[in-house]
Structure 1
Amino acid sequence: MKLVYASASPFVRKVRVVLAETGQADDVELLNVATTPVSTPEEVSAANPAGKIPALIRSDGPAIYDSRVICQYLNDRAGGGLYPDNSRWEVMTLEATADAIMDAAVLMVYEHRIRPPQFVYPEWEEAQWTKVARAVQAVNDRWMAHLAGPLNMGHIAVACALGYLDFRHSGRNWRKGCDALDDWYAVFSERDSMKDTIPEG
């Protein structure tokens, strides 16, 4: 299998952490690409017509894409137990919350990296951060008991989302008022799977 990826993407990091945690890292070749919303390399569009990463190219079937689809596929392939039956909907909801944090945080980066300076919309950017802050606070206030349980996909997704906030938005200080989540992340980020996938670029 080949994973179409870019190191800086938090969605890619989710997949790479799953690969590590389920013992499948050696089964996948990493295909590094540089892509933006206005520039899509051919190898990306060939794997995902929407032009987004990550995409997983398989030898026994068509390429699959969207990090949530890939993570569920890899979990099923390895019998990883990251979506346990007794809490599947909670796990998927927590993963969706983390993905929403990532979506808004990535859009904030694109607002400055892709849009010409004269068209940057500060109110829109702040609205994205409001989404991030509200979601982070909700995880801190409502989900800490869940995060204290056995490893599942919700844990991985939240950790990757928080890692991206540190990577791209460190000055925003997501930790303020979220001491419990900060403490949890400090421990989780010491896992080998997290240390081996620290974003670059």
Structure 2
Amino acid sequence: METDETTRPPARARAPRTPRTDGDATRARIIEAAGHLIGDKGFAETTSKAIAAKAEVDIASINYHFGSRDGLYDAVLVEAHRRLISVTELDVIVNAPEPPQARLRKLLELILSRAMGERSWNAHVLARELLSPSSHLDVLFAEEIPPKFRLMARLLSEITGFPTGDPRLLRCAISVGAPCAVLFVAGRISNPMTEKIMQVAPDAVLDHLYTFAIGGLEAIKREYAS
């Protein structure tokens, strides 16, 4: 005899599965180990064997989580850029209830604190990649830079009056960001000039770069308004 649907006992609900976190922890540990080694010796001189030993995993774990040594380096670059400034941090600054000029100063202050502060592995990795760019740099332009540029362009749009999507905003972003990139590289190269740069008080560097950036943005705004 068939049982009527209305008389069937309710199906027993399954308890939700607890997501596994051990895999994520292993992946993060591998990135951390690779970041330290690559920042110190460079990607070409860092073997998968050395990374596995430092992360206390086997080489198969690297291939499992990243596909290859190249895939791991891509992940290291992405993580290094996120530690420079994350999309979340940038979003908070851009959407703060302050004048755009004040928000730009806060952005420069954050980046300079990481460029001139204690040198973590992400700064060394990014500096190496900037000094000797490789094809792996493409991963940043595919994953990290576009959403950050869109936020940066919104901020620069408020300062200059240029509409979002205007190609002039890209040039403005390069002009504002390039000096910060130079400071990352300067911190990696040891010579009398770079040592003098890194010895300047961070507040003095911030004042200079902010004044320089605002002066340039306002000049560009006036030029196109005339």
TM-score over 0.5 for the alignment? Answer: no
Higher relative CO (CA 8 A, sep ≥ 6), structure 1 or 2?
1
Normalised to the residue count of structure 1, the TM-score between the two structures is 0.32
Normalised to the residue count of structure 2, the TM-score between the two structures is 0.29
Q: Which has the larger radius of gyration?
A: 2
Judging by fraction of residues, say which structure has more helix: 2
